[in-house]
Amino acid sequence: MSAHERSEGPLRASSAPSEPGPAGSGSGLSSPTLAPSATTDDGEAASAGGAILPGATLGVLGGGQLGRMFVQAAQSMGYFTVVLDPDAASPAGLVSHHHIHADYLDPQALAQLAQQCAAITTEFENVPAPALRQLAARRPVAPGAAVVAIAQDRAREKAHFVACGVPCAPHAVVETAAQLEAVPGALLPGILKTARLGYDGKGQIRVATRVELAAAWAGLGGVPCVLEKMLPLKMECSVIVARGADGAMVHFPVQRNLHRDGILAVTEVHEENVPQALCESAIIATKKIADGLRYVGVMCVEFFVLQDDTLVVNEMAPRPHNSGHYTIDACDLSQFDLQLRALTGLPLVAPRQHSPAIMLNLLGDLWFGSGEPVPPPWPDVLALPGARLHLYGKERPRPARKMGHLSITAATVAQVRATAREAARLLGLDAF
């Protein structure tokens, strides 16, 4: 993050009062007073002594489930919240104190958000960088536009991994017909991924031959892409770190992830999960990636473990992550608590996982048997000890839509596995 993105420092507890209450549209509240921050030699805002305290109003750009869980964490600590999202029924907008219904690039809406909030965060990586820049001119914004722009582009993201010395999949950038021709044969079979706007396996086509590759690129509209070699995966895992403006970093345990059809299905987090040496490498790599960006906020880095036990970085998300939802129920601080602390300049204390955990993603498919959508058998699932249901308030289930997740905790790994398998059976999910 460049210094100018945090040119205004956090609200100082000592010099400026917190906002007196919720800052509603037209509530007439003045904007919070911001004191200039001390800056360190390398231009980062120093957090010592300055923090945005409970009672202040925080903003979120984006109204999805990640924003909802951030809002819930912020509210439980006594902050007020404003969500900017064009959808009147957005999951975060429904629970926030205030909701600005507007496009992310609407200059007036952004000005209102900046006016009402002491600091602003984002909850999806495709948030337009110009929106973050406009906000950052007036308020602390974390993560910053420059970092989000890197994470939004697979080619730039991979270049950052390479620059950090963290191995990623062999790949080639395909932006022109000449680059398509020049792709090394060793990258086939591979996966052609759009450089921008892909998520949950969307914007990706598996290709085995040059003919398939050319057809896939045309099928993706000839947009800039990255061709990645198809790797022999043994397992997938992810690491979530929180990094403060002063460079302090804490991390959660390594999460083991099972994807189905390109979408996260199951996350398991316990000591029998991923070999210790791989965990250590993944944590070191994640910290290098976050540090290299001088990142402020919560970041998730996804990894592949190959058949020969080598670790390869896949991608990073500049926000809390689906694979970290278990932290709400299985850790003393959740990923959203740490997002809040990083944003407000409050201490980043290392989180402690107190129970083995398994998270099952609940996609809209669960509502569809035959005919009209029917809710899954919640009472049966909730009869399982250690099961906690999180639904995101989305009105309409649709296949592949993330409707919620189920967290399962238990005293032992054997117990959490047994309960999670029973939950999956009751829900009609595939065994894992």
Min separation Cβ 234 and ligand ADP, Å: 11
- 126 token code pair: 């495709």
Q: Tell me how far apart the terminal alpha carbons of the chain are, to the nearest angstrom.
A: 40
Contact status, residue 336 vs residue 320, Cβ threshold 8 Å: yes
Min separation Cβ 49 and ligand ADP, Å: 39
Min separation Cβ 317 and ligand ADP, Å: 8
Nearer Cβ to ligand ADP, position 200 or 246? Answer: 200
* Secondary structure element (H or E) that encloses residue 388, with its range: strand 387-391
Number of amino acids touching ligand ADP (CB under 6 A): 17
Nearer Cβ to ligand ADP, position 153 or 200? Answer: 200
User: What residues between 284 and 303 interact with ligand ADP by CB under 6 A?
Assistant: 302
In this structure, the dihedral spanned by the alpha carbons of residues 142, 143, 149 and 155, taken in order and rounded to 10 degrees, is: 170
The answer to the question of residue 262 lying near ligand ADP (CB under 6 A) is: yes
- The interface mask with ligand ADP, positions 184-203, x = CB under 6 A, is -------x-x----xxxx--
Nearer Cβ to ligand ADP, position 44 or 236? Answer: 236
The answer to the question of residue 230 lying near ligand ADP (CB under 6 A) is: yes
Nearer Cβ to ligand ADP, position 55 or 201? Answer: 201
Min separation Cβ 87 and ligand ADP, Å: 22
The answer to the question of residue 169 lying near ligand ADP (CB under 6 A) is: yes
Peptide bond into 351 cis (omega under 30): no
The answer to the question of residue 170 lying near ligand ADP (CB under 6 A) is: no
- Across 223-356, where does the E strand assignment appear? 225-229, 233-243, 249-251, 255-260, 263-269, 297-306, 311-317
Give the separation between CA 312 and CA 196, rounded to whole angstroms.
Answer: 21
Nearer Cβ to ligand ADP, position 314 or 355? Answer: 314
Nearer Cβ to ligand ADP, position 38 or 197? Answer: 197
The answer to the question of residue 306 lying near ligand ADP (CB under 6 A) is: no
With a CB cutoff of 8 Å and minimum separation 6, the contacts of 345 are 10, 47, 50, 51, 52, 244, 245
The answer to the question of residue 55 lying near ligand ADP (CB under 6 A) is: no
Q: Is 57 helix (H, G, I), strand (E, B) or coil?
A: strand
| Alpha helix (H) residue ranges in 165-295 | 177-181, 210-219, 276-292
Contact status, residue 84 vs residue 60, Cβ threshold 8 Å: yes
The answer to the question of residue 350 lying near ligand ADP (CB under 6 A) is: no
Min separation Cβ 326 and ligand ADP, Å: 18
In this structure, the dihedral spanned by the alpha carbons of residues 129, 131, 136 and 142, taken in order and rounded to 10 degrees, is: -60
The answer to the question of residue 314 lying near ligand ADP (CB under 6 A) is: yes
Shortest CA distance to 361 belongs to which of 351, 376, 374? Answer: 376
Nearer Cβ to ligand ADP, position 122 or 314? Answer: 314
The answer to the question of residue 157 lying near ligand ADP (CB under 6 A) is: no
Min separation Cβ 169 and ligand ADP, Å: 4
The answer to the question of residue 397 lying near ligand ADP (CB under 6 A) is: no
Give the separation between CA 110 and CA 239, rounded to whole angstroms.
Answer: 32
The answer to the question of residue 233 lying near ligand ADP (CB under 6 A) is: yes
Shortest CA distance to 253 belongs to which of 332, 317, 176? Answer: 332
> Which positions touch ligand ADP (CB under 6 A)?
169, 191, 193, 198-201, 228, 230-231, 233, 236, 259, 262, 302, 314-315
